A and B are shown apart, each in its own frame.
Chain A
Amino acid sequence: MGKDMRTVYTDTLIDIAKENEQICVLEADLMAATGTKTFKDVYPDRFFDVGVAEADMVGVASGLSAEGKIPFAASFGTFASRRTFDQFFLSANYAQLNVKLVGTDPGITAQFNGGTHMPFEDIGMMRLVPGLVIIEPADIVSCEALIRAAADYKGSMYIRLHRKGSNALYAEDQKFELGKGNVLVDGDDVTIIATGFIMVPEALKAAQILKEQGISAAVIDMHTIKPLDNKLVLDYAQKTGAIVTCENHQVAGGLGGAVAELLCEECPTPLGRIGSQDRFGQVGTLEFLIKEYEMTAEDIAKKAVSVIAKKR
């Protein structure tokens, strides 16, 4: 078993912080959840736990950034986004500072914490912040590479971080670039564009199901949701003539929204979107929730077939 996603996050920051003295880590009473205690142990001076006070955390992070520090500040995705939106919007982004805001437990992975803790809207909110870069790593290899890229990138970012569990989709030496999606499987009949730890593996499974039905599906890991890799999306829209987006988030405002906006303006293409359909979250196991919100590989394959049928 590989490392947990959260361990990759923390270990990567510990490693970067060796060379880069500006790296700081902030928490709002969820260090135990994010797993950043090991960072605190190694760099106690560069670790700040502000208590249950997310808005304060992002304000403090903005101040640190104003003095050249590179703060990584985390909370559950609901609170990282909804409870700090104005602080993040204004103190971090409008002020053109360099705050890496991390929202953990994306979408249905909030499980037993339920509807109050289940972020289906954070990507949508963050997409409205001008110029903000938004990423969601799908496995431990991309997680490490993208955290390194985030530390190097000069500007604020929203990082949607899966916390518990490990999965390696990529070879160790795979290259990642912010804003450039990765084609995991090539195909001709339909393109599945997915993001995140839950949905990219489901998309890969869906491609297998489709293959058994004689349908050739391409799968793209869109680890950067903003800026969207427009060229890749348009190339595959032209090549396959049908697109399905998959996100552990509302279909409105997130990856599906971004792809829909692009296609509509540049290359109208039949599109289906997998994700929560304008619903709130609720409690349950991952197995229950992924079925409840129709986000399984089977749901994706079904959606692909229906989108292909709309091709002219």
Chain B
Amino acid sequence: MNQEKKQDLQEKAREVRIETLKSIGHLGVGHVGGAMSIVEVLTYLYYAEMNVNPQEPRMNDRDRLVLSKGHAGPALYSILAMKGFFPKEWLLTLNQGGTNLPSHCDRNRTPGIDMTTGSLGQGLSAAVGIALATRLNKTDNRVFAIIGDGESQEGQNWEAAMSAAQFKLGRLIAFTDYNKMQIDGMTEDIMDLAALENKWESFGWHAQRIDGHDFEALAEAVKRAKEETDRPSMIVLDTIKGKGCSFAENKLGSHNMPVSADDLKEALAALGEGEN
């Protein structure tokens, strides 16, 4: 990846953080931590990887994304708005009665959302089904999925892991947002996932582990994953919960937190809002 491209993506990621914090801040409460930790992977996918069309959100051969940790929807909504799937003004309706942007991803409400999620542990199975269907349909797309580390404790993920390997889903590329935190504490203390990439490997997946905030590493890992043709890929992302948000970064309390006007101002200033 050349320097220019990298800076471009970094700038986009900054914008995604600003938009996301504004939309959560407008409401005054939300899932800041888990939204911030996936900003780079989402930015990479939507600005450097995925074939999607804002004018035709359900385009047949588009690449799909299942954001299984559906509570991080607000980060994805910012990107979809920035790409023109819907007006940016919608971002300020987050979670208000009648909104098209509910806290958890909803395929029937939001253009560009491929799967409804929110009950943790269900998304990867859906991604397996989508990958099977696109294989039947002979469209040439890929299916991406993002799961949480706490979410990985749901047994259904491991059922999906076996199906994806059994069905040789080479076009399925999943990410784990390994931010080391869940609601009740550090994942290590609650229900440890140690040797996570080895777990996936032993379930028949191609597994990698990278810095989830590093665009070059993301590009490299996705390139490697795409070389796998008959087994699914897991890319475990070492990330920081709340990354880039001054009042949330690396804080356990960032999971679903109140955001005051002052917090918001401070965080936006730290992100250089209004500067180019």
Contact = CB atoms under 8 A, between A and B. Distances in A.
B272 interface: no
Contacts of B98: 284, 288
A116 B117 contact: yes
B102 A115 contact: yes
Interface of B is mostly: loop
B142 interface: no
Interface residues of B, number: 33
A72 interface: no
A293 B255 CA distance: 29
Contacts of B84: none
Contact of B95 (A27, A51, A53, A283): A283
Contacts of A112: 27, 29-30, 95, 103
A117 B104 contact: yes
B191 A79 contact: no
Given A56-B155, A284-B98, A288-B97, A117 B150 contact: no
A139 to B, nearest CB: 26
A56 B153 CA distance: 10
B95 A114 contact: yes
Interface string B18-38: 000000000101100000000
A31 interface: yes
A53 B118 contact: no
Given A29-B153, A53-B153, A283 B99 contact: yes
B125 to A, nearest CB: 13
A289 B183 contact: no
A40 to B, nearest CB: 9
A116 B120 CA distance: 10
A224 B267 CA distance: 48
B238 interface: no
A256 to B, nearest CB: 24
Contacts of B102: 114-115, 282-283
Interface in A13-65: 27, 29-33, 49-53, 55-56
A82 B29 CA distance: 27
B119 A52 contact: no
B113 to A, nearest CB: 13
A52 B95 CA distance: 24
A268 B190 CA distance: 53
Interface residues of A, number: 30
A285 interface: yes
B250 interface: no
A35 to B, nearest CB: 12
A203 B106 CA distance: 34
A231 to B, nearest CB: 39
B121 A52 contact: yes
Contact of A33 (B104, B117, B183): B183
B214 interface: no
Contact of A116 (B27, B119, B155, B183): B119
Contacts of B183: 29-33
A277 interface: no
Contact of B190 (A49, A114, A283, A292): A49
Contact of A52 (B70, B96, B103, B153): B153
B220 interface: no
Contacts of A82: 119
Contacts of A29: 150, 153, 182-184, 190
A29 B97 CA distance: 27
A288 B104 CA distance: 18
Nearest to B148: A52
A32 B27 CA distance: 22
Contacts of A284: 95-98
Contacts of B182: 29, 51-52
Contacts of A51: 150, 153, 182, 187, 190-191
A78 interface: yes
B151 interface: yes
A113 interface: yes
B118 A52 contact: no
Q: Which among A27, A30, A282 has the greatest number of chain B C-beta atoms within 10 A?
A: A282
Contact of A289 (B97, B118, B154): B97
A53 to B, nearest CB: 5
Return the 10 tightest CB-CB contacts between A and B, nearest first: A116-B118, A51-B191, A284-B97, A288-B97, A51-B153, A283-B102, A114-B102, A52-B153, A31-B184, A116-B104
Interface of A: 27, 29-33, 49-53, 55-56, 78-79, 82-83, 112-117, 282-285, 288-289, 292
6 contacts: A29-B182, A51-B187, A52-B182, A78-B119, A114-B104, A116-B117
